[in-house]
Copies of this chain bind each other. A is one copy, B any other.
Amino acid sequence: MILQRLPKLAAAIPESLAEMLEEEIILGRLKSEERLTEEFVAERYGVSRSPVREALRLLERDGLVIREARRGIWVAPMSQRDFDEVYTCRIALEGLVARQAAESNDTERKKEFRGLLVELKEAQARNDARQFFAVDVRGSALVYDLAANRTLTRLLQGLEKQALRYRFHAYEQDPKIVKLSLDDTARIYDAITAGDGDSAQAMTEKLIREIWQSMREKVRDYFGQ
């Protein structure tokens, strides 16, 4: 029998499912408060309910869906309050991870920041939000790798997904909000590359706080408190 299934996909259906659903939620194709029945998801992706249940547990962990016992699962609602919660946590943790990344002496991997910045600029020039965010996420992943703090990474990956929902929405409404952050991002990458933990942390905290403030009002207007 000739192999027909991709080994990697077969290796972790729940994780793959979770990734696909994540993307759909972040990009807004699955709307807030939309019901997600297990059978619907199972049928849609051609698998049984078992891996779906596990995938939904993963999404619950990352705050993308909410679950009520014996009642079901819904795409997590968006609100200013939720937004505030995510961002207050992010300020603290992203600052920490930037510091720890700067303290790494893996100069090889730090060089990757250069290429990422080029890609970010290209994506921005093309006004390609999806691409921009995809590269941005890879940048975060690199920072997390450099920090080499698995616990911190675990916490942040969850927050990042929630944050991306808001950021993507904001970008669609007003693309220039992204430009705001590009220069600062470049400076942060420089500080990390240079090994300057103090300013990497301070600039990261400042950047995220600014993004938070700049989006806050629109989030309230759009999603309510």
Q: A interface vs B, CB < 8 Å?
A: 7-8, 10-12, 50, 53-54, 57-58, 61, 63, 68-70, 82, 85-86, 88-89, 92-93, 95-96, 100, 149-152, 154-155, 158-159, 162
Contact = CB atoms under 8 A, between A and B. Distances in A.
A88 B159 contact: no
A63 B149 contact: no
A122 to B, nearest CB: 33
Contacts of A58: 57
Contacts of A53: 54
How many monomers of this protein are in the complex?
2
A63 B11 contact: no
Contacts of A100: 88
A89 B155 contact: yes
A19 to B, nearest CB: 15
A60 B179 CA distance: 38
A15 B53 CA distance: 15
Given A57-B54, A61-B61, A93-B93, A86 B151 contact: yes
Given A61-B61, A69-B12, A89 B54 contact: no
A23 B149 CA distance: 25
A12 to B, nearest CB: 6
A199 to B, nearest CB: 18
A85 B150 contact: yes
Contact of A82 (B11, B57, B88, B151): B151
Contacts of A8: 69
Contacts of A68: 7
A63 B158 CA distance: 14
Nearest to A100: B88
A151 to B, nearest CB: 4
Contact of A63 (B63, B151, B162): B151
A112 to B, nearest CB: 23
Given A12-B69, A54-B54, A92-B96, 4 more contacts: A11-B69, A88-B149, A89-B93, A89-B155
27 contacts: A7-B68, A7-B69, A8-B69, A11-B70, A53-B54, A54-B54, A54-B57, A57-B57, A61-B61, A63-B151, A63-B154, A82-B151, A85-B150, A85-B151, A86-B151, A88-B96, A88-B100, A88-B149, A88-B152, A89-B96, A89-B151, A92-B92, A93-B93, A151-B159, A151-B162, A155-B158, A155-B159
